[in-house]
Structure 1
Amino acid sequence: MTEEEKGLSASVIKTEGASGGMLLAPSNEPVIRNLIYTVRGTQVMLDSDLAMLYGVETKALNQAVRRNINRFPERFRFHLTKEESDSLRSQIVTSNAENGRGGRRYMPYAFTEQGVAMLSAVLRSETAIRVSVQIMDAFVEMRHFIASNAALFEQIRAVELRQLQYQKTTDERFERVFDYMETHEAPKQKVFFDGQIYDAFELLVELVQKAEREIVLIDGYVDVGTLNILAKKAPGVAVIVWTHPRTHLTQGDVDTFNAQYPQLEVRHSTAFHDRFLILDGVEAYLVGASLKDAGKKSFGIARLEDEGAANAILTCLKQ
């Protein structure tokens, strides 16, 4: 036995308890399993973890291997690439200080199961043999676990593939919708016929949701049905409703609305016959029926193309 190997054996022997039994009792085997990783499709352990289990320094362990390098072909022990080392580091929860991995100036070595078995022959101590047996038992247990759950893993992979395919299909559908929206302008006018209550409601809600700061509605006949549409506005958008003094909308209705969808203000005017919806002070729509009656009879909604129309209506309201 070389002096170096004697030193390794002495270091390992120091890890034995007072009774001569290993500190790595069977109850500690789950810790060993946690130190087994999969690299290049093979289960391996890192040199620093093995050195910790054997009770020696990582440098000393690798030096012993180099003195017997003919026993460690590539399939027994290989150098990790930087990418492989970084990937493993992201999987390891324990801190570098706890595992003694901090401050290394070279990439770790990975030992396969055969490489671990060969280590016991290199270290040449009964303690090293017992530790290697525990490690190889952990390798075997891991293989049995993978084999017994192969069907489950396959099912998980199948689910993941279906999810990826579904996500891809969904993304493609959204892209087609967005492309259509970019190449097709929204209709400037729309006619609804008797019975198209939902269609009318849907378009009015879409218009209300376009507002970013303020909605002004001029409608001589409003009630809680009108508020149901205005409630679809974006948060923080103020609403001013101009309606007939004899409106069916009560102050209690306004207070209830403001408790959840502030801020609504109701003002009165008899100066308008038609209904108008003005968004952010610049976009004006002529609505052929009161919002509460939308779809009950045939009516139309048309955007006013005159750029000054919205301002002219708002100016009239201030007089």
Structure 2
Amino acid sequence: MAAPVEILSRLLWIRDAAALPDKALADQLGLEPRDLAAIIQAHPDRFPETLVFHLTAEERQRIPDAPVLAFTEAGAALLTGLVPGHEPALLTLLPAFAEARHVITAQAELSLRVAALEQKLDMVLKLIQGEEVEGAPKERHIGFVTEEDLPKGLKTQQHGEKKR
């Protein structure tokens, strides 16, 4: 059975999707990458570009040992009925692929959250140092507030209490 860590180490993030290079998938199935390419060529209507990527020259330059094809989880699942004798290997690979995809997506979400917190912290530090910051909350005065300065919902609530 394919381990999620093994799949995770070979997973690529291409075109906003987690994808497994053809060589990595072929290795898991005991096939050659050209065998997978032949299956894709034999059934082009079954494998849309959103599920099996034909990497562009630019994408291949950025990836070491650049594959020709990259399979999303759904693209790998579509191989199930087309690779005779390798169904069990594919069926054990798919849960590992799903778990690895989950890990990589969680890392991306965590990275976004950390970046947002860093921006907020940077704003707070600048405010503490007395610098002007775009988007910072307006200064509120402590003490008496005129009725015009009250928030809209609070004004109506107070008027209702006066009428009672």
TM-score normalised per structure 2? 0.61
Q: 1:53 to 1:151 in 2, by over 3 A?
A: closer
Letter in 2 for 1:119: L
Instruction: Give the 3-state SS of the residue equivalent to 1:69 in structure 2.
Output: coil
Q: Is the 8 A contact 2:7 2:100 kept in 1?
A: no
Measured against aligned partners, the alpha-carbon deviations of 1:167-212 in whole angstroms (never above 9, x if no partner) come to: xxxxxxxxxxxxxxxxxxxxxxxxxxxxxxxxxxxxxxxxxxxxxx
Match of 2:91 among 128, 133, 150: 133
Match of 2:72 among 112, 137, 157: 112
Q: 1:62 to 1:164 in 2, by over 3 A?
A: farther
Gaps of 5+ in 1: 1-24, 90-95, 102-106, 166-319
Match of 2:30 among 47, 50, 55: 55
Q: Is the 8 A contact 1:65 1:122 kept in 2?
A: no
Aligned to 1:199: none
Aligned to 1:158: 116
Q: Is the 8 A contact 1:35 1:49 kept in 2?
A: yes
The number of equivalent residue pairs is: 123
User: What's the offset of the Cα at 1:39?
Assistant: 0.4
Q: Is the 8 A contact 1:29 1:134 kept in 2?
A: no
Measured against aligned partners, the alpha-carbon deviations of 1:131-166 in whole angstroms (never above 9, x if no partner) come to: 22232212321343356566632332225657999x
Q: Which has the higher contact order (CA 8 A, sep 6+)?
A: 2
Report which of the two has the higher share of helix: 2
Match of 1:74 among 49, 57, 64: 49
Aligned to 1:242: none
CA–CA separation in structure 2 for the residues paired with 1:120 and 1:151: 31
- 1:1-319 alignment runs, 5 A limit: 25=1, 28-89=3-64, 96=65, 108-125=68-85, 128-146=86-104, 152-158=110-116
CA–CA separation in structure 2 for the residues paired with 1:74 and 1:144: 22
Moved over 2 A (4+): 142-165
Report which of the two has the higher share of strand: 1
CA–CA separation in structure 2 for the residues paired with 1:59 and 1:161: 47
Of structures 1 and 2, the larger Rg is shown by: 1
Q: Is the 8 A contact 1:44 1:113 kept in 2?
A: yes
Tell me how large the CA RMSD over aligned residues is.
2.9
Q: 1:132 to 1:139 in 2, by over 3 A?
A: same
Letter in 2 for 1:154: L
User: What's the offset of the Cα at 1:43?
Assistant: 0.8
Gaps of 5+ in 2: 124-164
Instruction: Give the 3-state SS of the residue equivalent to 2:58 in structure 1.
Output: helix
Measured against aligned partners, the alpha-carbon deviations of 1:37-71 in whole angstroms (never above 9, x if no partner) come to: 11010111111211121111211221122112221
Q: Is the 8 A contact 2:4 2:97 kept in 1?
A: no
TM-score normalised per structure 1? 0.34
